[in-house]
Amino acid sequence: MYGTLNKVTLIGHLGDEVKMHYFEGGNSIARFSIATNEVYFNKTTNEKITSTEWHNLVFRNKAAELCEKYLSKGDKIYVEGKIRTRNWQTEDGTTKHTTEIQVTEFIFLNVKKEIDSKTKAMKHEDDKLNNFEVPKISDYDKLNDIPF
């Protein structure tokens, strides 16, 4: 195989609130972590074991603003992106590094904020449309006559 691939797909729950950073020129970045869980049974003890993995996500610009507006701790999200490692120097000269997922695609799977109330309002409007009755016209055949 000649090419390589750097692609990640995750479904997890937010571990904290969205942290926003704004830059000159209007650009922004949102950062937060999500937890993914793996559940299995120990064959010898029959004990249920849950293993949690934490993933640091980075969203940019409009996607970041959407996350800030709609997501909160505990919400479930689907993301696709690329793994990136970032290095920096602390004030005392120590080199730190972190591995992050640069998100390219995402879907909010469940949210507790404003979007839920809007969805409920939309469903209520749909109910009104479903109950709408088309008026009956006694001379229906006359309406189908083409005047030209």
Domain parsing of the chain, residue ranges? 8-130
Helix (H) or strand (E) holding 122: helix 114-130
pLDDT tens-digit map of 64-102: 999 999 999 999 999 999 999 999 999 999 999 999 999
Which superfamily, per CATH, for 8-130? Nucleic acid-binding proteins (2.40.50.140)
**Pick from 2, 11, 122, 128: nearest CA to 77:** 11
Read off the pLDDT band of 126 (50, 70, 90). Answer: low
- Average pLDDT estimate for 141-146: 53
pLDDT of residue 110: 87
Contact 12, 36 (CB under 8 A): yes
pTM: 0.71
Q: Which residues pair with 145 in a beta bridge?
A: none
Question: 34 burial class (0-12, 13-18, 19+ CB within 10 angstroms)?
Answer: buried
Residue 148 pLDDT > 90, yes or no? no
